[in-house]
Amino acid sequence: MDKIYLNEMEFYGYHGVLPEETRLGQRFRVNVIAETDFREAALADDLEQTVSYAEVYSLCKEIVEGQTYKLIEAVAEKISASILEKFSKIERVTVKVIKPDPPIPGHYHSVAVEIVREKHEG
């Protein structure tokens, strides 16, 4: 299976369990790996036979900057389900949602969740 990567997309959202997270908001980064067969698109050099990166980006932006969720796990689930529903050519998707600046005491780079979802026949 071929893979399309959208790396380190950055958005501003209001997700979290603490009041300041939903009131003040914070940055979120999203990585998406969309698995599809884009051989025909590559051979024909035809966007219609593959997946538009711009449309995947817009969908992720709409979700992260739209409705508020308590858990980044829920954000990742919503993104993956929406991608699989909207893009018929995508068979499997990996979504990583990163919180670079969570309000947790200590020294670390970020916190993140990653999920893998795929279409099931039947």
Sign of the four-CA dihedral 68, 90, 2, 43:
negative
For residue 52, give every residue at least 6 positions away whose Cβ sits within 8 Å of its Cβ, in sequence order, or none. Answer: none
Q: What is the pTM of this model?
A: 0.94
pLDDT value of position 41: 94
Average pLDDT, the chain: 95
E strand map for the chain: 2-13, 26-36, 92-99, 111-118
pLDDT, one tens digit per residue, over 49-94 is 999 999 999 999 999 999 999 999 999 999 999 999 999 999 999 9
3-state secondary structure of 109: coil
Residue spans of the domains in the chain: they are 2-118
Q: Which CATH architecture best describes the domain 2-118?
A: 2-Layer Sandwich (3.30)
Q: Cα-atom radius of gyration of the chain, to the nearest Å?
A: 16
Residue type, 34: A
**Residue of 4, 55, 65, 3 lying closest to 29 (CA atoms):** 65
Q: For residues 36 and 51, is the Cβ–Cβ distance under 8 A?
A: yes
Q: What are the catalytic residues?
A: 99
